[in-house]
Chains A and B, each alone.
Chain A
Amino acid sequence: MDNNFLVVENISKSFGNNKVLENINLNISKSEFFGLLGSSGSGKTTLLRILGGFEKPDTGRVILDGTDITNLEPFDRPLNYMFQSYALFPHLNVFNNLAFGIKENFTQKEIEINVRDIAELLSIEHLLKRRIKQLSGGEQQRVALGRCLIKKPKLLLLDEPLAALDKKLRSKTQLELTTLQKKLKITFVFVTHDQEEAMSLSDRMAIMKNGLILECSSPEEIYENPKSFYTANFIGIANIIEIYKKGENFYSDDLGINFKLNKELKNIKTNILLRPEKIKIQSINNLKTSSFNSFSGEILEKSYLGSFTRYEIKIKNMIISVLDQNFYSNSNYNFPKGEKVICSWESESIKVLED
């Protein structure tokens, strides 16, 4: 696939003394659904606004489909931006909001056909005569989306597209948004602070922190093989353990146990990641503790989550989170608080964090 549909090259941006973006590089392919994930202040919105043309970068270039658009005004860019607040025009009804961007270049008849088509696509035909104030949050989101899509942009930028919706509507809209994107094959770049939203929408995503891109990969890759301590912690639940080489194996002072890795380490000391669902939890009666990749501990906290039960297990100086799938419907199968259990895992489940 052509990886150079949208190229972000060495973008830096400061507001006064505050460095917001530092040397950002990104390559996004055509028809990709790309997520920018970061906490507030990570620079993700500024990057999106630079793509939209609302901010000018201090250095670097933005190239869209082979054209350098760095210095183009927003109204000259072949892309559209969906605002977090939707920014619908309160003095116009839904029809005129949708038609706003195409009024210039189309005849009245063409406008009507285009608006009907887009309204049909988003199932908002019945709302065309309504005023913006008469719409619910979900309906406003669709109008904002339609107002952009009617222009058939090469690239659609979405600022926290689902943040203003309530939780139930959010998961429904999430699904619709992915389906729509796959159908229209428009490149989507969106910003979010919600890791679940980023994981479920993105084909690939970039994790941002303090104006830097820490990692950029598929959600699976970032979850399973994060490179940094920050990403491991930021995405999902993480048990991060410091280990060092001791003879054949590796040893953790906090846990007081040995680890066996199937990989050599560059450093003597390093952090490893163990995701909570990779840990098998068993009754102490069934099994003897192995000399490595397992430990026995006491259940400190337990929360029943339906499909999973989350345990907080204390061992020596550390508390390890474990997610256990509720395979049996008999509730007696769950371990009670205070019970001693044995936890174990496969060697390949241990991921070494580079920094």
Chain B
Amino acid sequence: MKNKLFEKYFVFSPYFWLVLFFFIPLAIIFKISISVSEWGMPPYQDIFLFDNGFKINTTFENYVYIFSDYYYIGSFVNSLILALISTFFCLLIGFPLAFYIATSNIRLRNILLVLVVIPFWSSFLLRVYAWKIILQNNGILNVILLNLGIISEPLQLLYNQYAVIMGIVYTYLPLMILPLYGYLNKFDLNLIEASKDLGLNRIKTFFKVILPLSVPGIVAGSLLVFIPVVGEFIIPEMLGGSDRLYYGKILWEEFFVNRNWPGASALAFSGIIILVLPIVIFQILYSRWSQKNEI
């Protein structure tokens, strides 16, 4: 009896975690987002007022405001595009790497896996800062190119969207490689040989056999990169310039610079809904598809 009870709670523990660390904070954010802002601490009014009898004090002005100003929507679109491009490049670099690791012999495989994970052992901030040193006007890269005579004056490599994409791809690559590796590890190499034996060359074999059978790994890796990149704040802040505004930075400024907590909350809440809804729909469709195809 006691065991059964334990099992029951054990099964529900992920939901418990989800409620405690996702739904409750989300509810708090939503509450703040419909509050009326004011100067003070905290910088918004309570939504339930009791001074002259009970009164609900809410407003949806913040939502109207952020959806009517392209400044906010634009930054969100920028972030989505950034996430798409970064995910694409992570996949482009990560897939061959993961495939190579998964098909190499066990000794080499372990060494390569350690190499993939090693960057996690040092501070993320430090690693992004290192890129600043490499890419800045008198940085290593420019100095080398100048000395080799390839360029006559330093290139502006830093503070633009390309530097941001590079930084994100660099940082998030392991998150793509590891789930892909986990899936490709189980790949039956005889299938590739069978495909070639049946007359398909390498490229056709890739598209007809390797790619369709890797879809679950690709989906897992891509979601793991895409979702956090949409809200990424630090990398655009450190490597990015003023050419493009991103959602994470706007959110930060709204909170800490403008001290507009309700506005920032409305922005955060909208972002989550816009991002979560398509992903949930995608997951449902995908799980149906993979069940049908037994992958």
Residues of A participating in the B interface, judged by any CB pair closer than 8 Å: 52-54, 73-75, 77, 80-81, 83, 85, 87-91, 100-101, 104, 131, 133, 147-148, 151
Contact = CB atoms under 8 A, between A and B. Distances in A.
Q: Is the interface of A mostly helix, strand, loop or mixed?
A: loop
B209 A89 contact: yes
A73 B196 contact: yes
A87 B201 contact: no
Contact of A75 (B191, B199, B295): B199
A83 to B, nearest CB: 5
B95 to A, nearest CB: 17
Given A83-B190, A85-B188, A91 B199 contact: no
A75 B209 contact: no
Interface string B191-202: 101111111110
B69 interface: no
B112 interface: no
Given A90-B294, A91-B293, A100 B193 contact: no
Nearest to B292: A131
B191 A104 contact: no
Contact of B295 (A83, A91, A147): A91
Given A80-B197, A83-B190, A91-B294, 6 more contacts: A81-B193, A81-B197, A83-B193, A101-B199, A104-B204, A131-B294
B188 A75 contact: no
Interface string B6-46: 00000000000000000000000000000000000000000
B281 to A, nearest CB: 23
B182 interface: no
- Report the 7 A-B pairs with minimum CB-CB distance, sorted nearest first: A101-B198, A87-B190, A87-B194, A74-B196, A81-B197, A75-B196, A74-B197
A53 B193 CA distance: 9
B105 to A, nearest CB: 12
Given A75-B197, A80-B197, A85 B190 contact: yes
B294 A133 contact: yes
B148 to A, nearest CB: 40
A88 B195 CA distance: 9
A91 B213 contact: yes
B193 A91 contact: no
Interface of B: 188, 190-191, 193-201, 204, 208-209, 212-213, 293-295
Given A87-B188, A91-B295, A75 B194 contact: no
Given A75-B201, A91-B295, A100 B190 contact: no
If over half of B's interface residues share one DSSP class (helix, strand or loop), that class is named, otherwise mixed; here it is: helix
26 contacts: A53-B196, A54-B193, A74-B193, A74-B197, A75-B196, A75-B198, A75-B199, A80-B197, A80-B198, A81-B197, A83-B190, A85-B188, A85-B190, A88-B194, A89-B195, A90-B294, A91-B213, A91-B293, A91-B294, A91-B295, A100-B198, A100-B208, A101-B198, A104-B200, A148-B198, A151-B199
A32 B204 CA distance: 33
Contacts of A80: 197-198
Nearest to B215: A91
A101 B197 CA distance: 8
B193 to A, nearest CB: 5
Contacts of A52: 193, 197
A271 to B, nearest CB: 42
Contacts of A85: 188, 190
A151 B295 CA distance: 27
Nearest to B190: A87
Contacts of B200: 75, 100-101, 104
B191 A87 contact: yes
A62 B254 CA distance: 73
Contacts of A133: 294
A100 B195 contact: yes
Nearest to B295: A91
Contacts of A147: 198
A142 to B, nearest CB: 16
A88 B197 CA distance: 12
Contacts of B213: 89-91
Contacts of B212: 91
Contacts of B193: 52, 54, 74, 81, 83, 87
A100 B197 CA distance: 11
A75 B192 CA distance: 11
Contacts of A87: 188, 190-191, 193-194
Nearest to B205: A75
A100 B212 CA distance: 14
B279 to A, nearest CB: 24
A77 B199 CA distance: 8
Contacts of B204: 104
Contacts of B188: 85, 87
Contacts of B196: 53, 73-75
A354 B194 CA distance: 42
Contacts of B209: 89
Contacts of A75: 196-201
Nearest to B201: A75
A224 B213 CA distance: 51
A201 B95 CA distance: 44
Contacts of A90: 213, 294-295
B199 A73 contact: no
Contacts of B198: 75, 80, 100-101, 147-148, 151
Contacts of A74: 193, 196-197
B13 to A, nearest CB: 32
